[in-house]
Amino acid sequence: MLRLGNSMDAITEVPDEGRVYRLVERYFEDVTGEPCETVYRQIAPRETMPAIMDRWVREHRPDIILIILSQYWYGFASAPKKVEETFGRAGRWAGLLGYRLAMTPWLANNFLFRALRKAARRTIGVEYHFEPETVVAVMEACIETLQRRHPDVAIAVWSEPIDVMHLDEQRLVNTLRARRRRVHDPLRAFCAARGVPHYLVMDPEVPYDWKEMREADGIHLNPDGHVWVANRQLPVVLAAWEQRKERLKAPK
């Protein structure tokens, strides 16, 4: 399985054996009796992504491709990004420093750092890394390219749960939900038309509290969160696996 994911798989204090992709491997093997090996690559909705995905598929020859749509792309309210947009080249250094600090676990998990980040959002303002329409256009292009060039490979799409980020800032949660609809309404229809399994958590079957499933940085998931996601990623992976088997049976 080629897992096209995000920092949730890479920037975490959860041990490797407890991360989502390792849990999905084990669950998949338990259900199907087939061995599962994951190749992980991190993606972003840039215009070069379809060609990059095509190269990765030719290199790794997967049976299944799991594309993870990160809400960070379109939903993370970033003060450093606002600095970059406002001050141009002069603000690039400050913005880069802000990113690096936020990606440093011991600092990002610090209460004072998070309080300062919250204050910066209110005073400096925020920008988003990508607009929803950009995410939609690039992901549709990726899926179309992969289906055309690798018709025997099954593709599945996982959309991250809505309320992972900004749980302590309701105005940002409301904005995130609105931007999320601009991404997932068109992509859900596109995947359905293309026969691509798409799992989207909007109304969970039982209530859950993401505050209890996050690491201290307020963005990434703790061990309980990884288990929660793995249990819900498994069905979409199994659906793609069934498609893969049907394609192998079909006459050429």
Please choose, from the candidates 211, 231, 215, the residue with its C-alpha nearest in 3D space to the C-alpha of residue 223: 215
Of 158, 159, 176, nearest to 167 (Cα)?
A: 176
Could you please report the per-residue DSSP string of 101-112?
Answer: HHT-HHHHT-HH
Determine whether domain 2-75+132-249 maps to CATH 3.30.460.20.
Answer: no
Low-confidence ranges of the chain (pLDDT < 70): 11, 78-126, 161-170, 200-211, 215-219, 252
Torsion sign across C-alpha atoms 50, 54, 59, 64:
positive
Contact criterion met (CB below 8 Å) for 220 and 214? yes
Three-class SS of residue 58? helix
Q: What angle do CA 79, 80, 83 make, to 5 degrees?
A: 90
What are 139's two structure tokens?
């992901």
> Are the C-beta atoms of 135 and 183 separated by less than 8 Å?
yes
Which pLDDT value is given to residue 154? Answer: 96
* DSSP-derived 3-state class of residue 158: strand
pLDDT for position 95: 47
Residues 4 and 57 sit within 8 Å (Cβ to Cβ): no
Residue-level pLDDT at 71: 84
List of residues 6+ apart from 132 with CB closer than 8 A: 74, 179, 180, 182, 183
Kindly list the domain boundaries of the chain, sorted by start residue.
Answer: 2-75+132-249, 78-127
227 with 23: CB under 8 angstroms? yes
Q: How far is CA 76 from CA 116, 166, 202, in A?
A: 16, 8, 18
Considering only CA atoms, which of 181, 2, 206 is closest in space to residue 74? Answer: 181
Question: How crowded is residue 202: how many other Cβ atoms within 10 Å of its Cβ?
Answer: 12
CA–CA gap between residue 212 and residue 16 (Å, rounded):
20
pLDDT of residue 122: 58
The DSSP bridge partners found for residue 116 are none
CA distance 160 to 111: 25
pTM of the entire predicted model: 0.79
What is the pLDDT at residue 86? 56
Sign, Cα dihedral of 113, 177, 230, 151: negative
State residue 37's pLDDT score.
96
